[in-house]
Amino acid sequence: MTRAQALKKAVQDLQRAGLAPALAVREAGDLLAHAIGLRRSDLYWEPDLALSAGEEEAFQGYVARRMAGEPLQYILGQWEFMGLTFAVDRRVLIPRPETEGLVMAVLQFLADWPGFPLVIDVGTGSGAIAVSLAVAHPQCRVLATDISGEALLVAKANARRHSVADRIEFRQGDLVMGSVPAAVVVANLPYVAAGDFQGLDPTVRDYEPAVALLGGERGTEVMERLIAIAPSGLAAEGLLALEVGEGQAAEIQAACLATGAFRDVAIRQDLAGRERIVLAYRTGEGACTRK
């Protein structure tokens, strides 16, 4: 079978499995490039070249997995976030584009923070937030924590991949914070309500880790526990930056204000105009001094 024939058949198969035509073309190309070990843009130079038996078998396996509903990102074993390639597999949530807005908000805040700021990334998953912050801000140090030891293995590999492992410390546990006051506590914690779980897209529900999705009965419980402890981990004038689910921003804003530890709590929209980010600015009162 030639590359062109393999692609054509895969596009038909993926469409039969429910992918929209343009997406089927895109993903078939990604999967074939992955099977051959090429960049997708290099596929089209020699469309009549025959696949080796090994390439054909690998490609058919990938297409079958995709048709069964497995996310493309897990099959490729990597995904792009903030312009960097991250290893991803079923131990971690696939980094989402809306989380890039959270990273950008933190970077904007850090631009005015003197010295060598400490950032705590709670629920680091693949390390997408921690690693991209460390790459973009060469002075910052990061404490990246997660309840899942499996996720931390992926995050550590991503830190090494992007040569920032010497500035990121990893710790496992339930909402672990550091002992040193941080300039920023950033978190994209699980926010799906228990009752909404079954209604999630099966590609998400059946493949991504439940611990990365489920935020409690109401969905906001894990985040609310973090809001209660974050003020004691933040330096004066530090920032608590949270990604929230759709429809949760006002409730999370109110929870931050109720602590009395934040002077201002802003809601930011993502590029699609959805309120997905809450930024809470620590007062100086009762806070630790800057480190």
Q: Which residues bind ligand SAM (CB under 6 A)?
A: 93, 95, 99, 122-126, 128-129, 146-148, 151, 174-175, 188-190, 211-212, 222
Report helix, strand or coil for 139. coil
The two tokens of residue 52 are 């080796």
Closest CA to 43 of 75, 87, 11, 66: 11
Partners of residue 226 on adjacent β-strands? none
Task: Return the number of the residue (7 or 252) whose C-beta is nearest ligand SAM.
Answer: 252
- Tell me how far apart the alpha carbons of residues 97 and 104 are, in angstroms, rounded to a whole number: 11
Helix (H, G, I), strand (E, B) or coil at 70: coil
> In the complex, what is the shortest distance from the CB of residue 113 to ligand SAM, in angstroms, rounded to a whole number?
21
Q: How far is CA 55 from CA 78, 109, 123, 187, 241, in A?
A: 19, 47, 37, 40, 45
Q: At its nearest, how many Å lie between ligand SAM and the CB of residue 21? A: 29
**Min. distance of Cβ 158 from ligand SAM in angstroms?**
11
The CB density around residue 240, as the number of other CB atoms within 10 Å, is: 27
Query: Which lies closer to ligand SAM via its Cβ, residue 25 or residue 213?
Result: 213
Nearer to ligand SAM, 1 or 211 (CB): 211
User: Is the CB of 38 or the CB of 228 nearer to ligand SAM?
Assistant: 228
CB atoms within 10 A of CB 123: 25
**Separation between Cα atoms, residue 222 and residue 75, nearest integer Å:** 30
Nearer to ligand SAM, 28 or 242 (CB): 242
* Beta bridge partners of residue 269, listed in sequence order: 275
C-alpha closest to that of 134 among 173, 177, 165: 165
Q: Among candidates 97, 115, 96, 24, which has minimal Cα distance to 63?
A: 24
DSSP string, 145-157: EES-HHHHHHHHH
In the complex, least distance from residue 179 CB atom to ligand SAM, rounded to whole angstroms: 17
Q: Considering beta carbons, is residue 166 or 174 the nearer one to ligand SAM?
A: 174
Question: Minimum CB separation from ligand SAM for residue 125, in Å?
Answer: 3
- Closest distance to ligand SAM from the beta carbon of 258 (Å): 20
CB of 151 to ligand SAM, least distance (A): 4
Q: Which is nearer to ligand SAM, 29 or 125 (CB)?
A: 125
Q: In whole angstroms, what is the distance from residue 286 CA to residue 39 CA? A: 53
